A and B are shown apart, each in its own frame.
Chain A
């Protein structure tokens, strides 16, 4: 199954799988273990809504799938099992079964996805946050040994990033009604009149200050995500 498939494919599939698994929430995902091919990740985030609401959002798997992006569709087969259809390479689709192992309303969801391209098991826990801060959500995902090869092309950082992005998305949709996008922003990088000539008329270099200016910061001046 692994041979000849590129890393981007696995990136997508892993995301869908994690997503499928995940109930999510976590602003930061930390790799917590790497032994014997099993890789575990923890993500945690606080959502400013009561546990009942957060749990209900999670438990509604088709809704969860819609919120995550890159998940084409989730069909519930029965109380335990659902079929997740996620985007594969090009316009292809990949599907796999997610089986719920535990479902404790307002407290916990656990699942397993053995047949997924990236086999894994996961658990999401909901705890009331102190004060009026909503619900603490902790997500644990373990890629099972047979899946380790499949995850191979993905760096641990990348998986953690995918999980935390997904968690962030869920938080945004629950709290704000939508996940704000950075896509489609207009900028001079796509300017219609952008000419390579450094001295073109529309452009001007500001004259330096008379006193020495501090140099730019030690981090790159560019380098934000696209």
Chain B
């Protein structure tokens, strides 16, 4: 054996275990991967007065990731893939949320990034957590059907008062309202003025009425300056009484909720009340698997959000709508929801719809707030 061959032989002795290790190990670790989840919503709809074919459509899918960044920060993101409601084409991709939070400051939580701002009650909900398939009409006329989503910074202070009293302040980036009037971003905060920093104030109070029942009172205000150099502002008030019997927390309960929102614009000389409206709802849990609910609502000066037969009449102005809902939860991770809604305005335009929604969650999903 030449010295060279011996060298190769000894080298091979060392290399074999190294190579066999290389096949099973990786220097790219996946141990600290974020928790990942996905939710998907499919919607079937029959609406005789709507200029759309009946049938099942893809509504949206939401990809969510969350992980601790380091001892100081947590990062969460929700990417939404949705169908354009006007034509059903699934070509909308939206960085709905991507924000960091810190819990290392006593009594104050800081949130920075792209977020769903802390306004009211319904405006905090992800689409798959809506208690009825459609968002209240007033949402689309004020902060948006899915709440006001923008980049910014929020600080939420849990005050030392003896009940849960939380005060949130936020400041955001100037944004324009959406031009196609889909009600996703109805607020014009698009002024180029240096002092246009849209800001928010939110107060949330929660009282335990007894072991099973809580009462929540909230107030919100969101203000910024528009392209028209007017201040645009949405004001909100919410009231919720919720009952969850502690010994049947997974089987029974009810939620009584009402919310009022108002959109105004003003400067030192003028004050316009643009639109306002409210909804009131009662949801009742019949068993582990069944929920039912009823909602009434009213919107004044509503803009064309409930587009009824676009070539003919639109359902705008003073609109009233009633919705009944039944939901069947096969497990914690899937849900089927059947809604019937009837809306009409002062001009006599009517929209009635039957909707069936399929709702699925896989992987990790952050728990929905109470």
A binds B: no
State the B residues within 8 Å of A (CB).
none
State the A residues within 8 Å of B (CB).
none
